[in-house]
Structure 1
């Protein structure tokens, strides 16, 4: 069995990578990172660090042109600012529509592209880090269990029943992801989640807030924040 891991350099994908390496061994795992016109390169840099740590080969795919007409606030061509509040507060304003940092059908595009790549690399399974917190309230609809099941069926059938999707955290919250990662000793100090590309996490965007809370619920401090706290 060979696995392809969608690696963005964040907590979720890095934990997926650790799971895949633990299950299949690093020689049977490859990683794929996507550029999509995001405002900064921190997540790509983190993906490189994580893959180097695990000794896994990282491939890169540029999908920037596909999102050139989107005004998603994560993208470099956007006129929108990244919200500095929880996803719950954002959803109150959007009336349960996707938040402004939702990149249109990004996971669908990522998984479809990854399927073609995975088949070319003789992989049997694609790992990606969708989890329940991101799907909650329809913030990121392409992280939901229903979406995952539909994509899994499409990719399985479309690949001649050779390839499937594994989303190990689809029913877990962020704290559950971190719990598993701590058990696997994932080097979270190498990861990056913040939507801003500065030297330090902003601690105010939705993903920063979720990340801090996830570590707190596991009775520990995010290693990215330990130096600023001490």
Structure 2
């Protein structure tokens, strides 16, 4: 059987970089393509981190700009929004949403990303599309496009729509972020190259939801790093 190729959605954060390391281990870096997407976020720190991690693993790195699709959204992550990024935990944010996603949920972003990535993956001869969703992001409906139900539905659509040529792999979908970092420790992931903060300062803000989750996951694994 010929060696499979994998395309990894890479944001430059903890989860996708761990996934990139896992893909390189499983398929060999020569069979891995990293894909990063600009969607109009207020800063490009995470895209810069994605460049660094792709360079570290010596894999092909492709960038797409899908920002125009989100120009009608007032999501607080986007450059066109005047809304402030919440400086509290996701649990605190969800207490105020009455079951709706949090304000940093970009409308159906991951559905769009996976659809666009599927086209690139097929064009690059990949049979696996890897996506770093994990259970903490899906909890409480904060990011419904990270849930296992969503992943399974998108996998069915991609598999059927590609004539069985491509499948989605989301190995962290049933894991929390601490477990993802534990896997990263095993793989020797260079987390110092990654960026998670929703703010674009020189240093992480340490108080947005993703900074808090990142810090807690690191501390759970004995890592003192933002």
TM beyond 0.5? yes
1:5 matches 2:8: yes
Alignment partner for residue 104 of structure 2, among 101, 106, 109? Answer: 101
**Distance across 2 between alignment mates of 1:3 and 1:202:** 33
**Distance across 2 between alignment mates of 1:79 and 1:144:** 28
Offset, 1:220: 2.1
Alignment partner for residue 196 of structure 1, among 194, 199, 211? Answer: 199
Alignment partner for residue 169 of structure 1, among 172, 193, 215? Answer: 172
1:38 matches 2:41: yes
Offset, 1:218: 1.0
Q: What corresponds to 1:156 in structure 2?
A: 159
State the SS of the aligned residue for 2:95: helix
Alignment partner for residue 120 of structure 1, among 120, 123, 148? Answer: 123
**Count of aligned residue pairs for this structure pair:** 223
Alignment partner for residue 70 of structure 1, among 50, 60, 73? Answer: 73
Q: What corresponds to 1:228 in structure 2?
A: none
Question: Cα RMSD (Å) of the superposition?
Answer: 0.5
**Distance across 2 between alignment mates of 1:205 and 1:220:** 19
State the SS of the aligned residue for 1:61: strand
Alignment partner for residue 219 of structure 1, among 205, 212, 222? Answer: 222
CA deviation string 1:181-203 (max 9, x = no partner): 01100000000000001111100
Structure 1's consecutive aligned runs of 4 or more residues displaced over 2 angstroms after TM superposition are none
State the SS of the aligned residue for 2:50: helix
TM-score by length of 2: 0.98
Alignment partner for residue 140 of structure 2, among 137, 141, 144? Answer: 137
